[in-house]
Structure formats: C-alpha cells, structure tokens
Amino acid sequence: MLPCTQKLQDLSWKPKGIILSGGPYSVYDDDAPHVDPAIFELGVPILGICYGLQEIAWHNGKNVVAGTEREYGHSELKAKRFDGHVDMLFKDLEDDLKVWMSHGDKLGALPPSFHIIATTKNAPFAGIAHETKPLYGIQFHPEVTHTPRGIKLLENFAVGICKAKQDWTMDKFVDKELARIRALVGEKGQVLGAVSGGVDSTVAAKLMHEAIGDRFHAVLVDNGCMRLNECEQVKKTLTEHLGINLTVVDASDLFLDGLKGITDNPEAKRKFIGGTFIDVFEAEALKIEEAAANSPKAGKIEFFLQGTLYPDVIESISFKGPSATIKTHHNVGGLPERMMNGQGLKLIEPLRELFKDEVREMGRKLGIPHDLIMRHPFPGPGIAIRVLGEVTREQVAIARKADYIFIEEIKAAGLYDQISQAFAALLPVKAVGVMGDKRVHQQVISLRAVQTTDFMTANIFRFDWDFLERVSTRIVNEVDGVCRVEYDLTSKPPGTIEME
C-alpha cells in the first residue's frame, strides 16, 4: 500500500496492476489528493474503488459532482450483460450482488470511451469499464465484509485481469522472515521485546526465538491488573512450552499505589499505566543489557521487537506525509522515543505485513497452543479500565474473580471461539440486595460480550437466558461484595468495546 501521490518514477519496481482506494476527500476539492497521471500511461490494469472511481472519472473529463442523496449502507447491484457475457470483473459472480456503499459524490456522466458494467437503483454508474483499456471503476466497496462476494471480485481483478500469481504461503513467509531477521541481527546482536500473553506479542516472540534463540530477551511486566493467575500462566506457556527467554517483572505495587486517587478520568488511568510501563521496562532493559554484555555470547542490545500489524501500517500511510496520521500505539511494546533515540535501538516488526488471522496462522505453524492463538484481546491497562472509577486492590480482586467465572462458563459452554471479546466490569455504584435474609448494599458487575471481525464495529453476543442466569448466580454467590449482575446490551457504535 502506497500513498496515492506516489510518483511512478520513484518506484523501483513495476506493478502488475493498481488499485485506487476510497478516501474522505471529494476529487473536486481544491486540496484533494490526485494520483500521478503517469499511472494511466503505464499500461497495467487499474481498478478504482469509490474515490478511486471518481479519480478515474476526474482524470477523464472532470465530471464528478456532489450527489443530492448520500448513500451509506447496503445496496443491490446488478451486473450488466453484453451479448450474454458479464465483464471479467464479475466473472463467476451472481448477476445480483449485495454490496456496501459509502459515498456522497457521484459521476455527472459516463466518461468518454467507458461503458457501464454494473448499476444499482440509485447509482447508474455503480461499475464502469473502459472500452479498450483494462480500466475499471466501482462505486461500492468490495473490501468490506458487508460486501459478501467482494473478495471474489478483488480476486477476479488481481488474478484474472492482472495475472498476479497466488504463490504466497505462510511457510515461505516464515522462512523468509527468519532469514531476514538472522541477517539483520547478525551473529551477536541482541533483541529486546515486551510480551503481554496476547496473540501478537507471543507470535512475534516465538518467531524471534526461532530465529536467534536466547539472544532474544522477552520482558513481561506484571502491572497488578492482569487476569486471575495470568502471569503464572503466561510465564509457563512462554518458558516451558515455547522455550522463550523471559523475564517477569513484578511491578504491581508501583502500579496499584499510583492508581490510587484517579477516580473519574479514564484517560489519566491509561496515561499513568502507559508511562509507568515504560519506566519499568526501561529499567529492566538496562539490567538485561548489563547482564548480556558480560555473557560469553556478548553483544549489545541493538534491536527492539514490536508486534505491529498491517492495519497499524495502513493507518500511518498518508499522502500528507507519515507524520500526519502516525498514532502512538498503546499496545504493549510501544517504546519511548528516549529509548529509541537515546540508546539507538532499531525496530524489528516481523508481523507488519500481516493481518490478525494471518498472525494466528503463523502462530499455529510455530506450535503455539490453540487456547493462546484464539485468545480474546486484552487491553494493555488490563483490569484497571474494567474497574470503573478508582482502582484499588480490593476492586481489582472483585472484577478479576467475576471475570474469571464469566470466562470459565463461556468456555464450558463451548462459546469462547464464537465470541470476539468478553469480560466482566465492576461498576462504581452500589445497589441494594437481600442475601441470607439480610439486607445488603453492595456493588454491581456488568458483563460484556461482543462479536466482530475488525473491532471497528461490534454486535453484542446473544447468550441464552439460562446461561446468563447461571453466570449471575455464580458471581453473586462466589464473589464477595457483589449483589447484582447486569448484561451490557450496547453495540459499537455507540458504545466502545471496553468500558473506559
């Protein structure tokens, strides 16, 4: 993926085809980004999606206007037949397709030498193609899950029209990556990396271990807000099962003492935890560095492992230059500027070309156990952002226990892999209950479970009532201090997945 303003002459390779993606601008805006016109002379197939379609039309007559009706959502597409044939782009697809639209602009007319290859009720130019050149434009979005056959359409373009080969395999990728890491790090180089017990950091760590053995140093920081037994479990899996050279730092007091008094400010919580994590990690890195320098296999720690995935990379690509959108990734492993610059650490990001499902596939190939591979995401600040209001040792203990029961029941019911993320949160309020004929005034647990593929939008998981009742009974009985349990019915948007 490259910014749309990439100059062709600066590319050292020739593409087999070009896809122009969608974008938030309108092509007729004064400051709208435009592609290098040279791409239209290159002779390779081009597919424009939404803004990309409008960009092709802009290049061919500038007839793009603001529509009177915006279209966001599902639409029924009809592929157009010519002499009984559909265009190559729709090969082996049904004539009627469910597609997703998200645009406000439209073509004012068909650009010269183009014909229509698909329509919808509202979009007469839902798909267009050049009469003689391999130039295509579509108004809908084949890349989202709401367009169920979109991947087939992209395959038609990449494989059928551009003649790209489908020879990428995970095995070959792993081999190439191992060789690249070994060459980069050299015979003596040492690499440092943070692990959390999550999928990404574990897969990245296992790959490093395969590549350079104990010259990779993993650090797990216990912030006192991890799940029940989690630290021991992660330690066991990483060291005993995966053979990774791991240091666990127990910094729970530092975190829990520091969280005291932060009552109504989720951002302050996250900031404090992020900052303290970095302090602890930095101190540990120095210790490891000293120890490594005195070992027979001496070498300086020169590299830092980061579990960046491709979606993070995509987000940081901007035609305004990389600094315009780069965000600080709050996942475990984001290293402070001062460490990178001060100690001259270089980044290794072996997962930066992969999506989550591919990271999981790599993990399976590297022998990481199923439970870990399918693990629900867990936020860096951990239970601290699932205890709403002030975080104390007592509150963390309550949330932790309730969460453990919820997840245990989900696993027992065989539902864990159907749910994308589930957890229990502790609400900062008290309610009245009656337990053992005694009136009590205790806290409330909120359960949350969602289904999603991309975590950008999410639906609530529909448990049956018996299940929820069972979990509720167990939590009230087994967790001291809780007299009520509720189930969160908010989708994302408007809710976020986590509560803080």
Contacting residue, 18, 19, 20, 22, with ligand GLN by CB under 6 A: 22
Smallest separation (angstroms) from ligand GLN to the CB of 139: 8
Task: Count the site residues for ligand GLN by CB under 6 A.
Answer: 11
Q: Is residue 23 at the binding interface for ligand GLN, with CB under 6 A as the rule?
A: yes
Cα–Cα distance between 212 and 178 in angstroms, integer? 9
Contact window for ligand GLN (CB under 6 A) among 91-99, 103-111, 191-199, 395-403: 103-111
Smallest separation (angstroms) from ligand GLN to the CB of 234: 41
Cα–Cα distance between 151 and 355 in angstroms, integer? 15
141 is catalytic: yes
Cα-Cα-Cα-Cα dihedral sign, residues 369, 370, 371, 373: positive
Cα–Cα distance between 128 and 135 in angstroms, integer? 8
Smallest separation (angstroms) from ligand GLN to the CB of 445: 41
Q: Which token pair is 221?
A: 């920081």
Q: Is residue 24 at the binding interface for ligand GLN, with CB under 6 A as the rule?
A: yes
The gap between the terminal CA atoms of the chain, to the nearest Å, is: 33
Q: Is residue 33 at the binding interface for ligand GLN, with CB under 6 A as the rule?
A: no
Catalytic residue, chosen from 55, 71, 103, 141, is 141
C-beta closer to ligand GLN: residue 20 or 174: 20
For residue 493, whether the previous peptide bond is cis, meaning omega lies within 30 degrees of 0, is yes
Q: Is residue 137 at the binding interface for ligand GLN, with CB under 6 A as the rule?
A: no
C-beta closer to ligand GLN: residue 68 or 132: 68
Q: Between residue 39 and residue 58, which ones bind ligand GLN under the rule CB under 6 A? A: 50-51
Contact window for ligand GLN (CB under 6 A) among 17-25, 160-168, 365-373, 426-434: 17-25
94 is catalytic: no
Q: How far is CA 132 from CA 112, 114, 137, in A?
A: 12, 9, 14
Cα–Cα distance between 89 and 203 in angstroms, integer? 37
Contact window for ligand GLN (CB under 6 A) among 97-105, 165-173, 225-233, 396-404: 97-105
Contacting residue, 36, 44, 93, 102, with ligand GLN by CB under 6 A: 102
Nearest residue to 258 via CA among 244, 269, 249: 269
What secondary structure does DSSP assign to 78-137, as a single string?
A: EEPPBTTB--GGGTTS-SEEEEEEEEEEEESSPPTTEEEEEE-SS-TTSEEEESSSSEEE
C-beta closer to ligand GLN: residue 25 or 355: 25
Cα–Cα distance between 84 and 96 in angstroms, integer? 15
Contacting residue, 19, 87, 99, 105, with ligand GLN by CB under 6 A: 105
Q: Is residue 104 at the binding interface for ligand GLN, with CB under 6 A as the rule?
A: yes
Q: Which residues, other chains included, contact 243 with Cβ-Cβ below 8 Å and sequence gap of 6+?
A: 209
Secondary element (H or E) of residue 99: strand 96-107
Cα–Cα distance between 418 and 408 in angstroms, integer? 14
Q: Per DSSP, what are the bridge partners of residue 152?
A: none
Contact window for ligand GLN (CB under 6 A) among 3-11, 101-109, 212-220, 334-342: 101-109
Contacting residue, 6, 26, 63, 245, with ligand GLN by CB under 6 A: 26
Contacts with ligand GLN, residue ranges (CB under 6 A): 22-26, 50-51, 102-105
Catalytic residues: 50, 141, 143
